[in-house]
Chains A and B, each alone.
Chain A
Amino acid sequence: MNTTTDPLVSISELRKSYDDNPVLKGVGFAIEEGDLVSVIGPSGCGKSTMLRCINGLEVLDSGTIKAAGTTITRQPGAPAGAELAKSFHVLRQRVGMVFQQFNLFPHRTLLENTMLAPMLVSGVPREDAEKLGLALLGKVGLSNMEDRYPANLSGGQQQRAAIARALAMKPQVMLYDEPTSALDPELVDEVLHVMKELDAEGMTQIVVTHEMRFARDASDYIIFMEGGHIIEISDEDEIFTNPRDERTRRFLRRFL
């Protein structure tokens, strides 16, 4: 990590409980612009919750989140007021998110899916939104499919369309919540390919994933989580060849 520039995303002391069940027990990390970071760990370790806390889909209990120029801090026990919601609303406009289940808008064509948010949220004129949407659909390999409805597409095509939809808001950071978990194995690579291309263009990306091969091949570094803690943040080669923590070693043994 380069320590001379400010990190583009950093979180610290992030805590989150559901009822009395703590899911995040004070996690923190910082990543630089252009990094691709994979978050791995066993089911229920809190990795998805951490990702969803970053753009406020889950409201953090306490801690600090800095992303794309917005800093949000919540003290323990402070009310989750309108101020917090407002800050996340600003943050979300600069942070894109891709979901496991794609969550494309089924009543809209692919092109309309990409145009809706830029027009509504950023006030982009229709012609510009259309031009941008067509370019992004081309970029993810969906040229000439702009008039299709999501249900007529394969899972891989839907996920690539979802990435194009998120990119249409020109985010500074992209968050992926298990983007290939709902896909048939033969469709996984086409989605990962798009993410690698974005990485090559310098997009900052945080990927919660079970794809260890992708994590090793594409990540700048890897965050391993277990039981609501970040156990290890390591270089992608190091963590696979020589994990520092015994828990990481145990987890990775199942994949290698």
Chain B
Amino acid sequence: MAPEINLTGFEYEIIQAVAEEMGREPVFVPNDWDGLIPGLSRGLYDCVICGIEITVEKSAEVLFTRPYYVTYEQLVVSKTAPPVTSLEQLAGKAIGTLGQTAAVGMLHKTPGVTVKIYDEEINAYADIVNGRVFGVLLDYPIAKYYAFANPNLRFTGPPFGQISYGIAVARSNSALAGELNDALGRVIASGKMRDILSRWGLWTPMVADTFGQPEDPSLPDTEYRAFVAETTDQPTLWNRLLGYTRFWPLLLKASLVTIEVSLLAMVFAVALGFTLALMRVYGPFPLRWLATLYIEIIRGTPLLIQLLIIFYGLPNIGIKLDPFVAGVLGLALNYAAYEAENYRAGLLAIPKGQMEAARALGMTQRQGLLHVVMPQSFRLVLPPVTNDFISLLKDSSLVSMVTLIDLTGAYKQIATQTFDYFGAGLLVATFYLLIGLPFVRLARYTEQRLLPVNQRRPSRRH
């Protein structure tokens, strides 16, 4: 379940220190920012430490520990922009931020501001330079890490608001919350927290004041400098490519997930699709109607919505699926509708005389279908089905939305670590191409083979 990702960061160190106090071994599960709390309630993991702000609304959904960090919202604008002293000055401007942050609420309360919600902070800051937003309002640590060292950007304005980060656990798990609270207290009291936050350049007067400890950092901000050094120097193309070699294991593993999910989903889609087509063409009224309804509903709704319902929605009625199972199931149920239409066309394309000949020979309808009609329609639908598999391979990228680290999941991870959406994108796209290539060839081959079905060279039996 836990892929090998290069995890770093102050929260990673804090939770390790906390786990050590608790005498437990942490297991890390990656997820999208927006899926963090839903993932908690569906039991993907026991706790979340990822800059989640303690708010009244969220406290209704999850339990929070005492704050492990306190901070404020920092406005970042272009180097050339005039200074801003209050949020009211932002009226008429587009401001970026991340979903589920305190900044969202602040911006919405400010009249005249157009709020743009991003999934990734680096995209938000990049859009200041790209001119798509005037500024970005985000938690100070994010601003410090992703904007402070950027020569095109600058900090402006006073600290906006005060926010606290807490570790989130499921509401049903108050025992764990208590355990985490005690451990957190010991990590703060022992000065370990001050060490970690100092090394990561996040020991601010506000934090020191809250924890009742000295304002000056206990250690040099080595981790912060390393992060900045790694992300700001412009490597040569060759060095950048070399840098990607460390992602090979991740990419290979992710490719395997993509291939597994796609193949399995196709197998189920083919089986279910065939059943649906038979129901639709040969079934009695209620079955025919059911099959048609299924096909119309599935084809009329987006695959992404279907996946999210299966993964995050079904737990509401007590069905919790493993991400892999949910991904395969979502794709299979969706593609079955398309395969059903392929097979229906294939079945209808076989002349009526074939079934009549079979029945005139004394076969039942079942035997005629199985031995006369289906083998012929199978050949007809092979090319469109192979083509659909290539589509499915690409659509499988959506399973990254249900926490699976497939190729697209890997792309997000690599891009957010290297800030290279372009290079990493090309790399991952190449992987998709390479995986799909054999199937493209297969589709061509079956298409060419289809025409001469009736003129195939005689083959000797013996």
Contacts and interface: CB of A to CB of B under 8 A. Distances in A.
A31 interface: no
Interface residues of B, number: 26
A189 B66 CA distance: 99
Interface stretch (B84-92, B151-159, B364-372): B364-372
A75 B453 CA distance: 46
Contacts of B371: 116, 120
B458 A57 contact: no
Given A57-B356, A103-B356, A105-B354, A121 B363 contact: yes
A227 to B, nearest CB: 25
Interface in A87-125: 89, 92-93, 96-97, 99, 101, 103-107, 109, 111, 116-117, 120-122
Contacts of B284: none
A43 B184 CA distance: 95
A187 B356 CA distance: 24
Given A96-B360, A147-B459, A149-B456, A121 B367 contact: yes
B362 A89 contact: yes
B376 interface: yes
A68 B260 CA distance: 57
Contacts of A120: 363, 367, 371
B375 interface: yes
Contacts of A107: 375-376, 379, 453
Interface in B352-404: 353-354, 356-364, 367, 371-372, 375-376, 379
A148 B359 CA distance: 23
B353 A99 contact: yes
B455 interface: yes
- Greatest chain A CB density within 10 A among B351, B359, B361, B364 is at B361
A55 to B, nearest CB: 6
B454 interface: yes
Nearest to B354: A103
Main secondary structure of the interface of B (DSSP, over half): helix
A55 B453 contact: no
Interface in B433-458: 453-456, 458
A149 B454 CA distance: 7
Contacts of A111: 461
Contact of A97 (B354, B360, B455): B360
A135 to B, nearest CB: 16
A165 interface: yes
Contacts of B24: none
A99 B376 contact: no
Contact of A152 (B356, B358, B458): B458
Contacts of B354: 103, 105
A140 B442 CA distance: 41
A114 to B, nearest CB: 10
Contact of B376 (A106, A109, A146): A106
B357 to A, nearest CB: 4
A57 B461 contact: no
B460 interface: yes
B285 to A, nearest CB: 15
Interface string A224-248: 0000000000000000000000000
A166 interface: yes
Contacts of B454: 106, 149-151
A120 B456 CA distance: 25
Given A149-B456, A149-B458, A152-B455, A117 B362 contact: yes
A99 B356 contact: yes
B361 A117 contact: yes
Given A121-B367, A149-B456, A105 B357 contact: yes
Of the candidates A55, A107, A146, A150, the one having the most CB atoms from chain B within 10 angstroms of its own CB is: A107
Contact of A101 (B353, B359, B372, B453): B353
B360 A55 contact: yes
Contact of B361 (A121, A147, A148): A121
Given A92-B361, A147-B459, A149-B458, 15 more contacts: A57-B359, A92-B362, A93-B362, A97-B357, A99-B353, A101-B351, A101-B353, A103-B353, A107-B376, A109-B461, A116-B371, A121-B361, A152-B455, A165-B361, A169-B362
24 contacts: A57-B356, A57-B360, A92-B361, A96-B361, A99-B353, A99-B356, A101-B353, A104-B357, A105-B357, A105-B376, A106-B454, A109-B458, A116-B361, A116-B372, A117-B358, A117-B362, A117-B363, A121-B363, A147-B458, A148-B458, A149-B454, A151-B455, A152-B458, A162-B357
Would you list the 4 A-B pairs with minimal beta carbon distance, nearest first? Answer: A151-B454, A117-B361, A103-B357, A93-B362
Interface of A: 55, 57, 89, 92-93, 96-97, 99, 101, 103-107, 109, 111, 116-117, 120-122, 146-152, 162, 165-166, 169
